[in-house]
Amino acid sequence: MPSKPYVRDPSAGKKPFYVGVDLGGTNIKVGVVDSNAKVFYRHSIPTEHDRGPDNGVERMGRAVQDAIAALKLKPKRDVARVGLGSPGTMDIPHGMLLEPVNLPTWRQFPLRDRLSKECGLPVAFENDANAAAYGEKWAGAGRKAHSIVLLTLGTGVGCGIIIGDLILDGEHSHGGESGHVLVNPADDAPRCGCGKTGCLEAYGSASGLIRHVIERIERGAESVLAQRHRAGEKIDGLAIAEAAEAGDALALSAIDETARWLGIGVVSLMHTIDPTMVILGGAMTFGGARHRLGRSFLERISSEVQRRAFPTLAKNTLIRFAQLGGDAGFIGAAGIARLEHLRLRPEGLPSPKARRRS
């Protein structure tokens, strides 16, 4: 059943508005955000990715137009630009999807320009993890930070790096793929989703956590999870989190181990980027600051950082939970649209000065 969009009176918003689109393998989230990063509209529709990119881009274009219409805004006059965060791989400068793992039929597709045509507005194109990082920096946990590294912990370990106004896209649109820094060079290190071995993601993700639990069960560890595994039930991140909350020793120690590896990865990032703040988001943060398990997870990561980082960085680098949840992607995409607008200001749109005069 399609949910109804969240709509809020835009008359209090600071113009121009920006539309942010967060394209995922399952859902497309569309939001309208004002120049101060306030959200005035939010809606989620299915991606239907198996129906191909033409269908997808039409659906996105319509969703953008619906959003603008729902707020009774005028495109171009009130809404300067659209931002799109997309999964990869991609070519950011050319706005191309290349080989997107979660959108397998959308290969070699000129997504940015097609969406721009579809919705009649210029589109800023970005990697979804970088867009989420920009969202947290613009409007979330990192809004007072000069530079941030966002790690999004879920099935994998996503990463986005923002330094001032620089979004670290990288030369080949692979900047901030830090889920794949090497934390274990051993030849028998576990295999990562990327096909290589020893990546941070192979340890710090839900997949890594589950693998660790199952290995220990198969070596004879006792746990409520062991009983469920032997009964043929699937062990997922949620099951492990629930067991940990109930005090299960295996689940607790596995989460500890995951946190320890994340601490190792965070130290390598601190010694390279030296950000103001490292932000942890995603489902694998175990409820974040509001839950005991989330807090102890963060403490375990921090204690590994304390042990391994340069003392100045161990003392001064902030490590915090993300604040925008599932909105980070579209808010960040809208924020990147704003950045591009402020840099490029297209002829089609009057400058704020001209608007004030008229």
Task: Give the Cα separation of 54 and 157 in Å (integer).
Answer: 29
Give min distance, CB of 11 to its own copies, in A: 39
* Options 38, 174, 291, 345; binder of its own copies; rule CB under 8 A: 174
Q: Binding string to its own copies for residues 77 to 96, with x set by CB under 8 A, is what?
A: ------------x-------
Check binding of 171 to its own copies (CB under 8 A). Answer: yes
Give min distance, CB of 136 to its own copies, in A: 16
3-state secondary structure of 48: coil
Contact 149, 269 (CB under 8 A): yes
Check binding of 355 to its own copies (CB under 8 A). Answer: no
Stretch that binds its own copies, among 30-38, 117-125, 141-149, 243-251 (CB under 8 A): 141-149
Check binding of 204 to its own copies (CB under 8 A). Answer: no
* Options 133, 150, 183, 279; binder of its own copies; rule CB under 8 A: 183
157-163: strand order across its sheet: 166-167, 157-163, 147-153, 277-281, 318-321
Q: How many residues bind its own copies (CB under 8 A)?
A: 46
Check binding of 271 to its own copies (CB under 8 A). Answer: yes
120 conformational bin, left if phi > 0, alpha if psi -120 to 50, beta if neither: left
Structure tokens at 335: 């924020």
What's the one-letter identity of residue 244? Answer: A
Closer residue to its own copies, CB minimum distance, 53 or 142: 142
Check binding of 327 to its own copies (CB under 8 A). Answer: no
* Options 3, 144, 185, 353; binder of its own copies; rule CB under 8 A: 185
Cis peptide bond upstream of 89, omega within 30? yes
Contact 18, 335 (CB under 8 A): yes
* Options 7, 45, 70, 182; binder of its own copies; rule CB under 8 A: 182
- Find residue 109's DSSP bridge partners: 97
Check binding of 70 to its own copies (CB under 8 A). Answer: no
Task: Give the Cα separation of 26 and 47 in Å (integer).
Answer: 5
* Options 316, 346, 352, 355; binder of its own copies; rule CB under 8 A: 316
Task: Give the Cα separation of 244 and 249 in Å (integer).
Answer: 7
Please, what's the b/e burial string for 207-239 (b: 16 or more CB within 10 A of its CB; e: otherwise)? Answer: bbbbbbbbebbeeebebebbeebeeeeebebeb
Give min distance, CB of 201 to its own copies, in A: 10
CA–chain centroid gap for 106, Å, is 20
Stretch that binds its own copies, among 128-136, 240-248, 267-275, 288-296 (CB under 8 A): 267-275
Check binding of 208 to its own copies (CB under 8 A). Answer: no
Q: Answer positive or negative: Cα dihedral of 117, 118, 124, 126.
A: negative
Check binding of 267 to its own copies (CB under 8 A). Answer: yes
- Interface with its own copies by CB under 8 A: which residues? 89, 145-147, 159, 161, 163-164, 166, 168-178, 180-185, 194, 196, 261, 264, 267-276, 308, 310, 312-313, 316-317
